[in-house]
Amino acid sequence: MGNRSSISLPGFFNCCRKKKEKTDSNVTNTGENLERENWSSKTEYLLAMIGYAVGLGNVWRFPYIAFKHGGGAFLIPFIIMLAIAGLPLFFMECSLGQFASLGPVAIWRIVPILRGVGITMVLISALVSIYYNVIVAYSLYYLFASFTRVLPWSDCMDWANEKCSQTSRGFCNISSGADIFTVNLTWVQDNNLTCIDNSTVEENTELPSQQYWKNVALRRSSGLDETGVVVWHLALCLLLAWILVGAALFKGIKSSGKVVYFTAVFPYVVLLILLIRGATLEGARDGINYFIGTQSDMSKLKNAEAWKDAATQLFYSLSTAWGGIVALASYNKFHNNCYLDAIVVCVINCLTSLFAGFAIFSIMGHMAFSLKKPVPEVVNEGFALAFMAYPEALTKLPVSPLWSILFFFMLLTLGLDSQFALIETITTAIQDAFPKAMKKMRIPITIGCCIFLFLLGLVCVTQAGIFWVNLIDYYCGGWAILIAAILEVVGICWVYGGNRFIQDIEMMLGKKNFCFWLWWRACWFVITPVVLIFILVWSLATLETPVYDNIKYPSWGEALGWCMIIFCIIWIPILAIIKICKTKGNLWQRIVKSAAAAPNWGPALEQNWGERYKHLADLKHDNIDLEIPTVVGKVNASFEPEQ
């Protein structure tokens, strides 16, 4: 459109002549980018993506959310949200990273005014990686504690207090003919009797697994106000967790790509073993029915919260807008079929959630049978399920240490997979900013990142550590990500241009018919941003004070949480203002120029530039500083491809 270029034509022809004389030294005959590296194989990439998307949330949150919103009925909003929000955003990020071979910060050459969105993604990933590795440390601690003849949380031992009990204590009324008697709850349970409705008076008791989690594993204080001392066994486990991460990533994708063969596959082996074992236990059918069987309640779909929770669970489960998808896809070869990859990863992610639900609830059903309680009374989400309810259920199984070792090793591998991608997001951003330094000093830079994040995470292994973990998760894993996701979709579809972006994808995948793109256009332009805005507004409208174990956070804790959110998103307006100020023209011209794709936006390798990005040859030949704002004004018009 308009003049094709203000750069001299001789420069272009000279470049073409040179291109005929020699090939790019950074490219192999197979199209591999030697400067930046590519995945060794398609399998490594897919396993890394599956490991990133499939995490702890699939095991300890999805089953509970599904149960809460009608069991099997919950699959309806879940699948719909996958189609209209999860998959479109996942496909967009895969295509974006692969097309330009850039990480979450440098990728915003596509819309320079939104470069701060990339910074936000990296900062969120950094903050989340701090507490996520603490959860890995919890798994390591329980894994080591399981190597014993009798699980240490199987009974009330010397660390327990007077509230500890394996059975409920209290009284209730039972009927015997015409008479009604008040008896002990333990006696009722031992004799398989039933209390009269609304007659139960229970004492405030806690299971051994609950007290072990609080008194031994965490040595938990009374709240965020009481920091206490560093819990050294957790600190050592955290150190080991960071050593494992650093060892897997010290050579970038060349080393992590080999590790994921084990860490991405092993959880499925364990889930299958647990499902087979759980299905053979008494009460397993009751647990599965509560999860997704005869207890399905379609009426719960009338509640808007079910749809909001489906979108939220899917959004966070797929890890979109965290920067990791863009980072991992950026190491793909240019013509890789990222469309098929996105579908495969999203489908596997959803099926894994279902698979985990069956495995978890079969054993929860057995626990309910053993305790003679309804399934809902032994089901929780998050930490309560992973480190209290499930360990308690494991004590009811024959050879319980073996099942405990398998379960916590599974949690370890699930956590490490996601952690690899979070750190890879950070190192990819560093590599894009300082490619020469990263090439020479990848190992010390990676180790330095791990050490720095380990030191920041020490506050999460103090006696108040669990409150810090919950605080970071509550704030950093929420609104900031939604804001980044909304700006990402709007920036690409409405600023850069959805049709231009589709043309970029077609350069990689080949031409597609109009009907193929009809659905993706509808989602990217309207449906997906509307759904994300709905989730954001709903989350803010239903905002509550964060709590953990019914303990409210102090006002300064809430303020600190909001400061973390502001710290992540403040770079969006700051970098936008800086970009506008450095650009020449009146205010509107500056905004327009700052929003236009940078001169160096396009495929990384010269062989993939094609006709649409042939101007990059001129810029490369003339050694123009592509980041100077004035260059954008001179050549902006020439960089808009034909619509």
Give the residue numbers of the binding site: 51, 53-54, 58, 317, 349, 414, 417-418
User: Cα dist. 473→190, 378, 477, 564 in Å?
Assistant: 41, 24, 5, 11
CA 307 to chain centre: 20
Q: Which residues contact 622 (CB under 8 A, 6 or more apart)?
A: 7, 11
Contact between residue 547 and residue 553 where contact means Cβ atoms under 8 Å apart = yes
Q: What is the 3-state secondary structure (H, E, C) of 479-532?
A: HHHHHHHHHHHHHHHHHHHHHHHHHHHHHHHCCCCHHHHHHHHHHHHHHHHHHH
Q: What is the 3-state secondary structure (H, E, C) of 288-343?
A: HHHHHCCCCCHHHHHCHHHHHHHHHHHHHHHCCCCCHHHHHHCCCCCCCCHHHHHH
Determine the Cα–Cα distance for residues 565 and 577; give it in Å rounded to an integer: 19
Structure-token pair, residue 219: 């040595």
**Length of the chain counted residue by residue:** 643
Determine the Cα–Cα distance for residues 600 and 197; give it in Å rounded to an integer: 72
As beta bridge partners, residue 240 has none
Determine the Cα–Cα distance for residues 110 and 108; give it in Å rounded to an integer: 5
Contact between residue 327 and residue 33 where contact means Cβ atoms under 8 Å apart = no
Q: Minimal CA–CA distance to 521: which of 543, 503, 546, 547?
A: 503
Backbone angles phi, psi at 301, to 5 degrees: -70, -15
Determine the Cα–Cα distance for residues 259 and 152; give it in Å rounded to an integer: 31
Contact between residue 331 and residue 32 where contact means Cβ atoms under 8 Å apart = no
Give first-to-last CA distance, the chain, whole Å: 9
Structure-token pair, residue 83: 């189609």
Q: For the residues of 39-52, what is the DSSP string, one character each? A: -S-HHHHHHHHHHH
Q: For the residues of 242-260, what is the DSSP string, one character each? A: HHHHHHHHTTTHHHHHHHH
Contact between residue 143 and residue 405 where contact means Cβ atoms under 8 Å apart = yes
* Binding region for Na(+): 51, 53-54, 58, 317, 349, 414, 417-418
Per-residue burial over 513-552, b = 16 or more CB atoms within 10 Å of its CB, e = otherwise: eeeebeebbebbbebbbebbeebbebeeeeeeebebeeee
